[in-house]
Amino acid sequence: MMARTLVRDGLALLAASVSLPALAQSSPQGAEGFAITNATIAIGDGSAPIHGGTVVVRGGKVVAAGAGIAVPAGVEVIDGTGKWVTPGIVSAVTDLGLVDVGAVDESNDDYAEKAGFNAALDVSAAIDPDATPIGVSRAGGVTRAAVAPVAANAIFAGQGAIIDLAADIDPVSRPRAFQFVELGERGAALAGGSRVAAQAVLRNALREAADFDRRSGISKIGGAKGVPASTGDDIPLDPRMAQTTQGRADDGLLTRFDAAALIPVVNGRQPLYVHVERAADILQVLRLKDEFPALKLVIVGAAEGWRVASRIAAARVPVLASAITDLPGRFETLAATQSNVGRMAQAGVKVALGGFYDNDQPRYAPQYAGNLVAVAQIPGATGLTWGQALASITSVPAEIIGEGGRFGSLKPGLAGDVVIWDGDPLEVTSGPVAIYIDGVKQNMVNHQTRLRDRYRHPQEGPLPKAYQ
């Protein structure tokens, strides 16, 4: 994820040859409402699938879903015989919209290695709805995502955003939704070579932010304006702050901009997402609340989370975990197992699948969830039920990122994010046949489908088609 191979000439030429998709690809179909009948319905709340059910969407919202649902007059009726219907996939912690061609730095905005700021970085300013992975992910059933930056030259990566994947020009629904910090092995390297240094840097930064708030009154000013999470750019420089907002304090390590960005974290208005894998590191994260009780923590990764699952559950800290980390690829994942997610869920941890970067693409989430259903069938292993597995990529990540009241399931009143599949969505042989976001049918054409169609029946010629 961090090391990029710069194949500038060839890949830049390839990127330049890709035609941009039309911005307004959302179809008006479904605007007046639709009903999918005779389908296998999965609500996404952990319950078992309902056979022969119906889903009704009107005004961009789910009206009803389940068995015995009457179809209202005036809506489009779609026969779902042989099909499965689920809520859209929610990809928690991903780089969607920040990365286009991975090996071409000019097309990527996830990694600010030479930036003068870190905590104040706001990814919402750079999210590109035309980035190729967004179209590919949408065609795979992904409808919402929590986009996170990558830590580059400090443990603080910056502030993530919540987006929808509808084919329009404005994907950001909530900017500055969380702050992302890197601890564990990589955090240690960024902080000076040791976990001791990373912990000192983190605690110092939070203390500086709290002190800056006390001296400047930023949180009170921001609260008066109704600003949920200040980044420093919305701070009025009035006389009360004239002596406290010029650069850094004499013994401070943060810039004013970074310190202001961390004030909502210290005050509990902005969640702090912490990437750690080792059990001992997880316990250190949980102990942060002893010193900073208002923190709203979310643990990302947690390959060894099963070892301290009871402690995580007791602290009521949610986890966005990888489903397929099952080998000791690093020292901090020596106790990795595919039973990790199942064991944490069994212990009462609110856990969802997250961390979709690079080869772990968001569209693979159903396959990973299906693996956890299969793990449950192995003697001695712990996986998830089918309903739990689907919830781990729909309603549970939506709840963890603070959007459970808006989307993530087919419960009445939530967004009409609906995916129709040609089979069991957790089977690798199944795929989406129709996708709706806010009740609007989406165009499933993307760069990969265009390449498939171009070369399905190649024509002989002296040069490749793109060069003619």
pTM: 0.86
Mean pLDDT for the stretch of residues 262-283? 97
201-227 confidence digits (pLDDT tens): 999 999 999 999 998 888 776 543 333
Radius of gyration of the chain (CA): 23
According to the model, what pLDDT value does residue 18 have? 36
* 283 neighbors 312 (Cβ within 8 angstroms): no
For residues 68 and 52, what is the distance between their CA atoms, to the nearest angstrom? 9
Mean pLDDT for the stretch of residues 164-189? 96
According to the model, what pLDDT value does residue 220 have? 74
Q: Is the pLDDT of residue 233 over 50?
A: no
Q: Tell me what the pLDDT averaged over the chain comes to.
A: 87
In whole angstroms, what separates CA 102 from the centre of its chain?
18
As a whole number of Å, the end-to-end CA separation of the chain is 35
Q: Which residues of 129-152 are buried (b: 16+ CB within 10 A; e: fewer)?
A: bbbbbbbbbbbbbbbbbbbbbbbb
Q: Which residue has the higher pLDDT, 461 or 274?
A: 274
Structure tokens at 325: 């980390």
Q: Is the pLDDT of residue 2 over 70?
A: no
Structure tokens at 357: 């970067």
Pairing, β 418-421 against β 432-437? antiparallel
Phi, psi dihedral angles at 415 (to 5 degrees): -55, 145
Which residues, at least 6 apart from 280, have a Cβ–Cβ distance to it below 8 Å?
Answer: none
391-420 confidence digits (pLDDT tens): 999 999 999 999 999 999 999 999 999 999
Above pLDDT 90, what percent of the chain?
A: 74
According to the model, what pLDDT value does residue 384 have? 97
Tell me the domains of the chain and their CATH numbers: 89-400 (3.20.20.140)
* 150 neighbors 108 (Cβ within 8 angstroms): no
Mean pLDDT for the stretch of residues 252-274? 93
For residues 85 and 34, what is the distance between their CA atoms, to the nearest angstrom? 13
Cα dihedral: 97, 326, 372, 164 (round 10)? -10
Q: Is the pLDDT of residue 15 over 80?
A: no
Structure tokens at 21: 């998709």
Cα dihedral: 82, 83, 84, 86 (round 10)? -160
Mean pLDDT for the stretch of residues 193-197? 95
Q: Is the pLDDT of residue 11 over 60?
A: no
342-361 confidence digits (pLDDT tens): 999 999 999 999 999 877 89
What residues pair up with 77 in beta bridges, in sequence order?
35
